[in-house]
Chains A and B, each alone.
Chain A
Amino acid sequence: MDSVVLLRPVPDPVEELELNDDGNDLDRDYLGYVLNEFDDHALEEALLLKEAAGGTLTVLGLGSADEMEQILHTALAKGADEAIKLGDDLSHLSVSAQTEIFVSALEGRSYDLILTGVQAADELDGQLAVRVAAKLRIPHVSVVVGADAGDGSVRVTKEFWGGITADYQVQTPTVLGIQAARQAPRYVAVSLIRQAQQSGALSEIDVDPPPDKSGVRVVSVRVPETGVGAEMIGGDEEAAAEKIVEIIRAAGVK
């Protein structure tokens, strides 16, 4: 079963986000990017499928200057056969534009499965997995938490809510929006990443950002008012611990 995994960089979720001067986007000048965590799970699930059922594994990464090369080398070190970086500075495109880029990169390739993260925190105009599937006119399943390759089909587990899941048999080729792989994304030794850097298995395709056809425009952004209703505890950790214990006791615990 041949798989292609679509990888996107997103602003590092643990960083504090600053706004630009126009107040309509993040200040991207100093923003650190990391691999979208759901895409990391998509890669892991693809690696597990390859280990179980064979086939090739290709990763396509939407370019952002340095981070994506590192991400793609890591994917190669983990076991991907081929890695392709698309474009150079495409980290803030709409999902509609990302879809155009990935779909044209997929043209002429043969694959049974396309996997990507179920969502990204900045996907304002829809989910990449479903948009790519609809564009390619192939089936899709979102919020997948496990897959099992068969002959001409794949069996996937989709999560609904409250812990209820459903199993689906889906015809291939198909696109899976991965919520979580069957196991946590693996770690890989730095020495293997260095080997991948020297292997030459990473190639690049020049991509001009397509015109944005999403029809959605951000007028303004803001950091939501926080602390509304929350009484903030001041002081150092010792003072905070004392206050927290006091609050817990006042709430009727012990």
Chain B
Amino acid sequence: MSDVFVVTEHLQGELTETSFELIALARDIAAQTGGRVVAGLVGSGVIGLAAELGGADRIVVVDDPAFENFSPDGHAAVYASLIEGSPIVLIPYTSMGMDVASALSTTSGIPLVSFCTSISVDDGLGATCQLYAGKIEADVEVAGDRAIFAVLSGSTSAEDGRSGAAAEVTRVDNPVESELRSTCLGLTEPEGGDVDITSEDVLVVVGRGIESEDNIAEAQEVADLLGGAVAGSRPIIDQGWLAKDRQVGKSGLTVKPKVYLTLGVSGAPEHVEGMKDAETIIAVNTDPQAPIFAVAHYGWVGDIFDLLPELVDKLEAD
């Protein structure tokens, strides 16, 4: 009769897709353990969001002005109290979840498994995880009968976690008595750039394999010939080689162009989340094991620097 607790997350008054995905996963687990799905909802003025969480059996709400914005140590401290009594805890492996999961595990001693894509409870607690940016899949088992699972976005369908049913809502007072040690000064929206990659028909997308900033010019040439734009995966943006508004992925933008041509993109989960719904995905990578080939419609294993001049030739002749 083990309850499954789901840490939900929301930003600017909206629950994230990942929150619903986790509720869907929790429903599957609870069906096997015979327990209930308990969703935690922490924020200020968030009680209205509880109506959307009908996929859970019970919602525990801490609605307090102290949590008007996400508080890294504050949310971790609140959840340390809320998860008591739930042996299985699911947390999104996201910017917010990262600040909660490891803190909960360290202070409570409950084992934590990161990068989870599925969870098993039939023969002890276990999970399947994506390590090394999706290049390796691992089956792991957890010692004992309690565990915290940090789950990757996109691990299941969010639709399965939505329900119009009315869950039991329990409001609890903010259990954190100590003062928060971090203060949110406000949110900043991304600035629009010269190109909106979400409205392009063709994206030529460079990853770590492009090797240097100078080499992006070759990809740009192909994009120009196709009337499209150049975008990049996270390492390229972190290097400062392309502007932030050219980033595709979880921490960047979600795109659905007609053609998505990747050059030296490995296909880490963070990237795939932002491009998996593109109409035609063509991937080029030297590593035949690169996870990008699992999501692409067409793939070629080879050197992008051999391919690029040929592509330019063919397109110019076309």
Contacts and interface: CB of A to CB of B under 8 A. Distances in A.
Interface of A: 11, 13-14, 16-17, 19, 26, 37, 41, 95, 99, 118-119, 121-127, 129-131, 133-135, 138-143, 155, 157-171, 174, 177, 179-180, 183-184, 214-233, 236-238, 240-245, 247-249, 251-254
Given A134-B107, A160-B11, A177-B98, A121 B132 contact: yes
B265 to A, nearest CB: 12
Of B70, B188, B201, B237, most A-chain CB atoms within 10 Å: B188
B154 to A, nearest CB: 12
A215 B143 contact: yes
Contacts of A216: 111-113, 140-143
B contact face: mostly helix, strand, loop, or mixed: mixed
Interface of B: 11-12, 16, 69-70, 72-73, 76, 94-96, 98-99, 101-103, 105-107, 110-115, 126, 129-144, 147, 150, 181-190, 201-202, 208-209, 226-228, 235, 237-241, 244-245, 247, 250-254, 258-259, 261, 266, 279-280, 282-284, 287-291, 293-303, 306-307, 310-311, 313-315, 318
Contacts of B76: 130, 134
12 contacts: A13-B133, A37-B235, A124-B138, A125-B111, A158-B95, A170-B181, A171-B182, A216-B113, A229-B296, A230-B294, A230-B298, A241-B310
Contacts of A11: 132
A227 B293 contact: yes
Contacts, number: 304
Given A171-B182, A230-B293, A232-B299, 10 more contacts: A217-B140, A219-B126, A226-B288, A227-B294, A229-B294, A231-B299, A240-B310, A243-B300, A245-B314, A253-B259
Nearest to A249: B318
B141 to A, nearest CB: 5
A166 B298 contact: no
Given A217-B141, A227-B294, A14 B208 contact: yes
A164 B189 contact: yes
Contacts of B70: 160, 166
Contact of B142 (A134, A162, A166, A215): A215
B140 A124 contact: yes
Contacts of B94: 160-161
B98 A127 contact: yes
A134 B95 contact: no
Contacts of B247: 163
A230 B299 contact: yes
A197 to B, nearest CB: 27
Contact of A133 (B103, B282, B296): B103
B188 A166 contact: yes
Contact of B294 (A37, A140, A169, A224): A224
A163 B143 contact: no
B239 A242 contact: no
Contact of A164 (B11, B130, B202, B293): B11
A166 to B, nearest CB: 5
Contacts of A224: 130, 134-137, 291, 294
Contacts of B284: 240
B300 A233 contact: yes
Contacts of B141: 216-217, 219
A36 B286 CA distance: 22
Nearest to A185: B239
Contacts of A241: 307, 310-311, 313-314
Nearest to A220: B139
A139 B182 contact: yes
Nearest 7 CB-CB pairs, A to B? A163-B190, A215-B111, A241-B310, A134-B106, A130-B102, A126-B102, A139-B181
B302 A237 contact: yes
A126 B112 contact: yes
B150 A126 contact: yes
A233 B285 CA distance: 12
Contacts of A157: 188
